[in-house]
Amino acid sequence: MRYTEETLIPQLEEFLKNIPLTPRINASTELAKIAVEYVVQNYNTFPVFTALPPSDDEFPHYTYGNPKRKFGQSEIIEVLKTVCLAYFHLTGNKLWIGDMQLEHGGRIGTHVSHKLGLDADIDVIEVGDVPNINRPLAINTAQIFLQSGATLVFYADHNVVNTVNEWALENEIKGHLSHEPDHTKHFHLRVG
C-alpha cells in the first residue's frame, strides 16, 4: 500500500512529464489512475490467502512455477496436505504443486479459474503426459484426490475421468472428475 502511494504514483507522475501527451496516452493515463485509485480505496477489502507451507514429513511435496501464486484458503491447503501424504505413502514419490492463487486474489495469467483461493494445479510426474500416461497410476492418484476431499478435478484423459467417476458413484464419494482437453500435463483440483 505504502509502495503504491510513495513509489508508484510519484513514478507515474514523473514518467508522464517526459512523454508526449497524445489523446491516446491521456486516455490510458486516466484508466491507470482509476486503477490505482481503486487499489488505494479497496485494499482493505482484498482477501488475504494463506501461503502454501514448505515441504516436510507431514506434507511432502515439490513446487513448480511462480512462488507468488502459491496461496489459498485453508480448505485447499488441508486437502493438498492429505493428498500429498497419501500419494507419498502409495508411491514413495512427491507430488508437484503448481499455480494456486495470489496472496490477495485476482486473475492470474490465462487461468479462468484460480480466483477464489480454492484451486491448485498438480503435476504427477510419474503419470506422464496425456495420451502417453501410466493410466493405472493416474486412476489411483485421481481416486486419492476425491477421497481427500477434492470436489472437482479437471483432466484430459476420458478413460481416467470415466473410470474414476464410476468408482466415486459406486463408493458414494463426493466429488467428480471433469474432462478438460487442456489438462494433459497436470491435474487441476478444486475444493468447496
Q: Which residues in this chain contact Zn ion in the complex, by CB under 5 A?
A: 121, 188
Residue 81 vs 185, nearer CB to Zn ion? 185
Closest residue to Zn ion using C-beta atoms: 188
Residue 1 vs 112, nearer CB to Zn ion? 112
Q: How far is the CB of 156 from Zn ion (least distance, A)?
A: 12
> What is the three-state SS of the chain?
CHHHHHHHHHHHHHHHHCCCCCHHHHHHHHHHHHHHHHHHHHHHHCCCCEECCCCECCECEEECCCHHHCEECHHHHHHHHHHHHHHHHHHCCCEEECCCECCCCCCCCCCCCCCCCCEEEEECHHHCCCCCCCHHHHHHHHHHHHHCCCCEEEECCHHHHHHHHHHHHHCCCCCEEEECCCCCCCEEEECC
Residue 94 vs 188, nearer CB to Zn ion? 188
Residue 153 vs 164, nearer CB to Zn ion? 153
Q: How far is the CB of 167 from Zn ion (least distance, A)?
A: 23
Q: How far is the CB of 60 from Zn ion (least distance, A)?
A: 21
Q: How far is the CB of 147 from Zn ion (least distance, A)?
A: 20
106, 60 Cβ separation under 8 angstroms: no
Residue 121 vs 157, nearer CB to Zn ion? 121
C-alpha span between 36 and 1 (Å, rounded): 10
Q: How far is the CB of 151 from Zn ion (least distance, A)?
A: 15
